[in-house]
Chain A
Amino acid sequence: MARAVSTRRKATFTVAAWAIALAIFFPILWTFLTSFKTEGDAIASPPMFVFFDWNLSAYEAVNQRTNYLKHFWNSVVISFGSTILGLVIAVPAAWAMAFVPAKQTKNVLMWMLSTKMLPPVGVVIPIFLIFRNTGLLDTRTGLVIVLMLINLPIIVWMLFTYFREIPGEILEAARMDGADLRSELLYVLTPMAMPGIASTLLLNVILAWNEAFWTLNLTAAKAAPLTAFIASFSSPEGLFFAKLSAASTMAIAPILVLGWFSQKQLVRGLTFGAVK
């Protein structure tokens, strides 16, 4: 039976939800607005909200000095490449853990997660040296590998959670019908777990897109993605807020659009199995 919720209670929750949403969104809105200001207006005190001389000078300056498309393409290759490679490895791993658990499965899962607790800077020198010796410095291949490794625990964990919601009997039935392991994974499990896989893909693409430690430390000129593009507009001297905001807006716009179009899928995937 549905609970009776008073109008006043509803209104309070709605106002609170809007206030929280606006507070979370405000930094992005402020960045967007600042990108259309002159450098002088960007630091004006008191700050100007919308009544300023709207212009594109910051975008012009950003485009004159850097090659946005090159960085954008590097970001696309690195984020999608690392996530897809991660999924290829994680789907069989999560299948094994969810449907044929061994005695140590839980410990293995915890151990995988524990690798996320180490601050990345702790391993920067060993990884840098491995990359130097294998010629992977400043290559997209190198970044795809390292970001895949970093996000793999999350991918495995997410898929494991989704797979566990799928009744094992369905897979058994498929086996009874003569499906081999490959067919079971490809034609039975994957389609059923699609919302989960899709949200794992989206979330990890976003994580890889925003990753700014390894992408800055392992690249120079050739493989630098949009994080390096943003970093190049922060300056120790002089005014740079408008240019930095323009660069940030250009860097987050693609992922924002992707998130916007796929939010239904994302929410469905993230709440998959939450309600029983």
Chain B
Amino acid sequence: MTLKSLLYGASFTFALTAVAQAEELTIATVNNSDMIIMQKLSPQWEEASGHTLNWVVLEENVLRQRVTTDIAAKGAQFDIITIGAYEAPIWGDLGWLNGLDDLGDDYDYDDIYESVRNGLSANGSLFAVPFYAESSFTFYRKDLFDSAGIEVPEQMTYDQLAEYAKQLHDPDNGVFGTCQRGKAGWGENMAFVGPMVNAFGGRWFDLDWNPQLTSEPWVNAVTYYVDLMNNYGPPGASSNGHNENRALFADGKCATWVDATSAAGFIFNPNESTVADKTDFAAAPQQVTNKGAGWFWAWALAIPASSQKVDAAKDFLKWSTSKEYVELVGESEGWVAAPPGTRKSTYANAKYISAAPFAGTVENSILSANPADATLEPVPYTGVQFVAIPEFQGIGNFVGQQISAALAGSQSVQEALDNSQAFAVREMKKAGYIQ
């Protein structure tokens, strides 16, 4: 056998192996700017790895329903799925996801914020890797505050927020004192109300899983919220979600807004916002405590246990959530577009800091959001604006609808909370948490 034929043989075998290993992965994801950038840059990974990606982009609620059906029924249609900080620990615990502790030392797990890692883990194992994380903080109009002579304290309270909203409320000139979420849903109005209840000293359940929705902090918080919005909010606030408020604030219609830190890049972008140079940021308001006052959320990628292409999927996850990927986005799309909230190295990067002046406040908010200790009184659950149990989606949505109805004026706060308590008790009994 000649050397030439040996080489031919070797290269043929190599080619065959490469073909055999080239996988076609299906990735299900939400339509947000970070994922659009990832979809745009992913051909670089496809070229380097030899694998290909099929993208299935869906609206958030459709995605949640679609992915839940697929993963619970082991449909195996997806190799990579996008899930949030609510699903990751529950699904990980149920054995629906592949563990992701073995992406290698070069992945630098320690560079990911501990709170983010904890939020995506169950029983000490990581089940999803984050591509962005967020907390909530206060957006306010610097120009309006300055002209009214208001000095924003380092840590404002909800009472102060109401006071500022009162002073700046000027609907005749198209400015409302405050814009907050009112649209019903556990991920919509309850994302704002939940942390606010924490700040008022409330909790969803006591240590024995008894719902606490008619307790004093809940009554105080929801009464405050309904009064604040009715007095100083925009009309029709009960149908405003994140997007509507974001558009209102960007259009200069709101003096204050407590919402996702991830919206800062948008508000700060002069192409998309008329108040880019007039906005400043402060921590989320507190009241009787600052525990759990800012929410915690992360969008992350995970691999269903039913996937047959785990190795290739892990390779993509490693690439798309790595330090190098953040660098790639920063250099090719502009540093303000770099995935926020996940890695310490992003916040140590001078280029990011200069492109995103809000970076420090965002980092502080994320560092202070602790899903494992988010309430004044002890609780049996983790989560800041949600409770990491499967029953929470139903309960959270119901309570959201009741509070939205109270905001719209179709029932009183007390009625809303009584209905919510009755529903939560029924659900928790049905699920066997309480007798």
Contacts and interface: CB of A to CB of B under 8 A. Distances in A.
Interface of A: 39-40, 43, 45, 65-66, 124-125, 128-129, 132, 137-138, 216-217, 220-222, 224, 228, 231-240
B60 A236 contact: yes
A72 B408 CA distance: 42
Contacts of A43: 247, 251
B109 interface: no
A235 B59 contact: yes
Contacts of A65: 36, 39, 57
B54 A231 contact: no
B397 to A, nearest CB: 15
Contacts of A128: 69, 73, 75
B83 to A, nearest CB: 14
A235 B32 contact: yes
B11 to A, nearest CB: 32
B338 interface: no
7 residue pairs, one from A and one from B, having the closest CB atoms: A221-B54, A232-B57, A234-B59, A236-B60, A220-B77, A235-B31, A237-B32
Contact of B59 (A217, A222, A236): A236
Interface in B227-255: 242-243, 246-247, 251
Nearest to A40: B272
B28 interface: yes
By DSSP majority rule, is chain B's interface helix, strand, loop, or mixed?
mixed
B39 A216 contact: no
B30 A236 contact: yes
B59 A231 contact: yes
A228 B31 CA distance: 12
Contact of B62 (A40, A129, A132, A216): A216
Contacts of B33: 237-238
Contact of A224 (B56, B69, B266): B56
Contacts of B242: 236-237
B308 interface: no
Given A65-B39, A125-B73, A137-B75, A236 B32 contact: yes
26 contacts: A45-B251, A65-B36, A65-B39, A128-B69, A128-B75, A137-B75, A137-B77, A217-B65, A220-B26, A220-B28, A220-B54, A220-B56, A220-B77, A221-B54, A228-B56, A231-B59, A232-B31, A232-B57, A234-B59, A235-B31, A235-B59, A236-B30, A237-B32, A238-B32, A238-B266, A239-B243
B55 interface: yes
Interface of B: 26, 28, 30-33, 36, 39, 54-60, 62, 65-66, 69, 73-78, 187, 242-243, 246-247, 251, 260, 262-263, 266, 272
B28 to A, nearest CB: 7
A240 B33 CA distance: 11
A125 B75 CA distance: 11
B30 A235 contact: yes
A230 to B, nearest CB: 9
A129 B76 CA distance: 11
Contacts of B247: 43, 239
B328 to A, nearest CB: 19
B58 A232 contact: yes
Given A137-B77, A234-B59, A237-B243, 9 more contacts: A65-B39, A128-B69, A128-B75, A224-B56, A235-B59, A235-B243, A237-B246, A237-B262, A238-B32
A233 B187 CA distance: 19
B58 A228 contact: yes
Contact of A125 (B59, B69, B76): B69
B54 to A, nearest CB: 4
A124 B55 CA distance: 23
Contacts of B187: 236
B75 A132 contact: yes
Contacts of A39: 272
A74 to B, nearest CB: 13
A253 B26 CA distance: 29
Contacts of A137: 75, 77
Contacts of A216: 58, 62, 66
A234 B30 CA distance: 9
B170 to A, nearest CB: 16
Nearest to A220: B77
Nearest to B134: A237
A224 B77 CA distance: 12
B73 A129 contact: yes
A128 B54 CA distance: 21
B423 to A, nearest CB: 21
Most chain A CB within 10 A, of B59, B62, B76, B272, is at B59
Most chain B CB within 10 A, of A40, A217, A221, A237, is at A237
A103 to B, nearest CB: 41
B386 to A, nearest CB: 15
Contacts of A138: 77
Contact of A233 (B26, B31, B73, B76): B31
A270 B32 CA distance: 44
Nearest to B72: A125
A240 B31 contact: yes
Contacts of B78: 220
A256 B38 CA distance: 35
Most chain A CB within 10 A, of B187, B243, B246, B263, is at B243
Nearest to B28: A220
